[in-house]
A and B are shown apart, each in its own frame.
Chain A
């Protein structure tokens, strides 16, 4: 049985209590995307400003409300992607989602060795984000952790469409 300290690591509680990059950005140039977790009412509002010249995240701000996991994950995501090239951001999204599912498949005992997922993780520096891997031991909370990242994915897709 996983304990609370597996889920609520100190770094997560720190981001929950003092979220980074809270606020709003003018739209445009920023792109605004809202993400919802209909099961628990978590809400993430993401303002993503991409520099089309350099294809980097010029700035990011977050708003919304929800449980500690959703809000900490959002804060950590914002800190991780700010100033990063989009290629790196996309890699980070894949790596984070792999982190959220690699243990899940092991837990479910579906026989998968997670090698494809491991490949996604190889060479990606997750840093603080690794603190969120304890979430996979609490399956109902995985959606809380991935909400920010799905919202980010949506923002990237919509930004790409706008700029295309």
Chain B
């Protein structure tokens, strides 16, 4: 018995009213971006129709309402990850920008040639390339935590890797493998070596109750669109003392306290990092998405996804046996609902194309994790990922469509 009533939840999402190719939509690509409930669409519509103005500026009723709604969203986001303070949440465009903000502001102010940053082989490009840019510019050394045969972090040499490191930048959940990394012990080890900890929580926050204090992290990055919210807005959480010491990232309006011809002083955090008119209505939508999923309960969300993921792993193995290779931990404990696989020598794009005939939406490709794909020795995988609106029937539809692809491409 699932912790969630999926039939009812599906009705909250207008997109599931439509069909594709005459079939009901089976959306298995939430790790890429999640669908949006009516509550989010309505909240954004209401914000535009009834409360829209620029924020932090106008001294009139609707501007004050818009400002209040924007800052209320920040409170919701802060609570959602158990941040100690609301002003530790910086709104960004997405998780990628959150990580880049740390790379451009904190890292450039603090790291120099000879310093090291520790990453892992399972990072998304968003948590690789900003550090590679920095490494090329500053001569900073990048070190990599490898993987075990069961697709988990191989921590055998963690102490050596962290020796002399200034930052550990690590994913809480792999977008390809589904692997959940246990952050607290990693953070403890990093801190013991004097390194700060940045968590790419983009895949984790939507699916598992997140507590930045329990993690003892220093920075975490995540986005709205994977948590049922709109695109165009994400968040960086960072400890307030770090944010206050960091130089500004983008310059412009809002991030300043005063500007003279010979210089400027910065605004308080978090606004110091929010130059220009932000994604006001998207913030409102982000807050509404958090309200929606919080009402379901993050523990129930996690329990439901474990159920569906276990059903998927079991069903795929039962039906296809050795024709199917799953890249990710075999045990659902310590794993999220992203299931990547190779199937019967058929290229992921061909699988995805055949699946689309049956309105089954999966991701095909390298999932913005090419270093990981090279480690796995595969050019591309097919990935099915699950969220609150998926159930066993969706897994069954995936399996029937895969059987069709197998028949279609049979040698």
Contacts and interface: CB of A to CB of B under 8 A. Distances in A.
A67 B411 contact: no
Interface string B351-382: 00110010000001110000001000001100
A1 interface: yes
Contact of B379 (A1, A3, A65, A69): A65
Nearest to A66: B347
Interface string B380-411: 10000000000000000000000000001101
Contacts of B349: 40, 67, 69, 141, 144
A68 interface: yes
Contacts of A141: 349, 353
Contacts of A69: 349-350
B214 interface: no
Interface in B323-357: 346-350, 353-354, 357
B379 A43 contact: yes
Contacts of B348: 40, 67
Interface in A124-139: 138
Main secondary structure of the interface of B (DSSP, over half): mixed
B357 A41 contact: no
Nearest to B349: A67
Given A1-B21, A40-B365, A66-B347, A13 B409 contact: yes
Contact of A39 (B347, B365, B373, B411): B365
A43 B347 CA distance: 12
Interface in A61-106: 65-69
A41 B409 contact: no
Interface in A7-62: 7-8, 13, 16-17, 39-43
Main secondary structure of the interface of A (DSSP, over half): mixed
B408 A8 contact: yes
A141 B356 CA distance: 13
Interface size class of A (residues with CB under 8 A): 20 to 34
A66 B409 contact: no
Contacts of A17: 411
Query: Which of A4, A66, A69 counts the most B-chain CB atoms under 10 A from its CB?
Result: A4
A151 B65 CA distance: 57
Query: Which of B357, B379, B380, B409 counts the most A-chain CB atoms under 10 A from its CB?
Result: B379
Nearest to A138: B353
Contact of A68 (B350, B357, B365, B373): B350
B355 to A, nearest CB: 11
Given A13-B409, A67-B347, A68-B347, A4 B357 contact: yes
A41 B354 CA distance: 19
Contacts of B357: 3-4
Given A4-B357, A17-B411, A66-B379, A41 B350 contact: no
Contacts of A40: 348-349, 364-366, 380
Contacts of B365: 39-41
A66 B353 CA distance: 14
B408 A4 contact: yes
Given A13-B409, A17-B411, A41 B21 contact: no
A66 B379 CA distance: 8
16 contacts: A4-B353, A4-B357, A8-B408, A17-B411, A40-B349, A40-B366, A40-B380, A42-B379, A43-B379, A66-B347, A66-B379, A67-B347, A67-B349, A68-B347, A69-B350, A141-B349
Given A40-B348, A42-B379, 16 more contacts: A3-B357, A4-B408, A13-B409, A39-B365, A40-B364, A41-B365, A41-B380, A43-B379, A65-B379, A66-B379, A67-B348, A67-B349, A68-B350, A69-B350, A141-B353, A144-B349
Interface of A: 1, 3-4, 7-8, 13, 16-17, 39-43, 65-69, 138, 141, 144
